[in-house]
Structure 1
């Protein structure tokens, strides 16, 4: 439950708070929550006990809770005595700031709605922090066994290898001598998904592709 009040430093705002707190101990009922801290931090001074008796009593109760929960933040606060607004205000500010970062489970009273919102924000933060996987461009030489190897079938065999993160590119045949040609082929890989060494050792130079491919060499490897 998210409750907000505007102009709590004005008479109209304090009247609104007084009316809302009628019959309640705290903003959300009988237990103090983060809503109380937020509203408390927005009240500049303690409401008059004569004009706003319920709001004044609520203010004192929240001040006492903050004094006991944040002793290191509200310097000079005596838990046994009623703390002044200037003494407890730093604690309220600290609590409100902690609430924004979801680092504080104030008094252990968090609603399901707040938990869900916190989880969504955590996921969003993790998503923005997660580094996108890089890609690389690779130029590879694929060599046949001899001049009788069918280079068209060799290329078809090579391109038949399909892996997540692997994209085959342009290719061409390059003479190497004695009537033998090698195939030079481009490929793009997602670094976290494809290992070029594994691609060669476990796919391109084993059955059935090794019927056409004698060996493969990496000519160029560039990060994209």
Structure 2
């Protein structure tokens, strides 16, 4: 959530900013962000000595803005430098490019994204996606797969069932169980990622559809347990 302050041109407004910055380097987070730029653009000049936290923060942000916009005044007296024109335009120029990417906490003030920056961002995105997958629940399923009759080739039936491959589905051990009149059914274990695989869809859309239904007459869920 964006941090905002009102009436930063007044003593009361600066007091609120001073209190907020106590023990902090930036307005929000551990690095300079769009919040800092927006607030900086609203402060007409460097706060006085009665606002030491705000003054220190102002100098830090001013230096960053000056690096991004060399040669333009930012309205701050930096240590060792003369008085700069009171112009917050560079900060406002950065601030107006505001909420197009709210997922980025840090603001790139120092030029275009480099290949290293892009690689790091891709790695962070991949790590988040991997973490999300790990958080997805899993289930262990025991299923009975029944053939049409005693003449059904049970080896080919098993091969047909295991031929169904999809993300989040892992086939486990199986065995043949006699059911009478020379007919055997196949009992098979499978593990699924709940967010990726529906057992009902697996049966209806794959195991009892052509070409697998040449061997499989029906499937029943015997046990369904969360892992």
Aligned pairs, how many? 143
Question: If the length of structure 1 is used for normalisation, what is the TM-score?
Answer: 0.53
> Which residue, out of 178, 181, 184, partners 1:181?
184
Residue in 2 that maps onto 1:165: 168
Residue in 1 that maps onto 2:78: none
Task: Name stretches of at least 5 consecutive residues in structure 2 with no aligned partner.
Answer: 1-6, 42-90, 95-106
Residue in 2 that maps onto 1:68: 9
Distance 1:144 1:213 in 2: 5
Counterparts of residues 120-159 of structure 1 (less than 5 Å): 127=128, 130=132, 132-159=135-162
Aligned to 1:207, what secondary structure does the other structure show?
coil
Deviation at 1:96, TM superposition (A): 3.2
Distance verdict in 2 for CA 1:207–1:91, change over 3 Å: closer
Structure 1, residues 26-62: CA drift from partner, whole Å, max 9, x if none? Answer: xxxxxxxxxxxxxxxxxxxxxxxxxxxxxxxxxxxxx
Paired residues of 2:144 and 2:187 also in contact (CA < 8 A) = yes
Deviation at 1:148, TM superposition (A): 1.1
Paired residues of 1:73 and 1:94 also in contact (CA < 8 A) = no
Aligned to 1:162, what secondary structure does the other structure show?
coil
Residue in 2 that maps onto 1:104: 35
Paired residues of 1:158 and 1:209 also in contact (CA < 8 A) = yes
Task: Name stretches of at least 5 consecutive residues in structure 1 with no aligned partner.
Answer: 1-65, 76-87
> Which residue, out of 93, 96, 99, partners 2:22?
93
Give the number of the structure whose alpha-carbon radius of gyration is greater: 1
Counterparts of residues 109-120 of structure 1 (less than 5 Å): 109=94, 111-113=108-110
Deviation at 1:214, TM superposition (A): 0.2
Question: If the length of structure 2 is used for normalisation, what is the TM-score?
Answer: 0.52
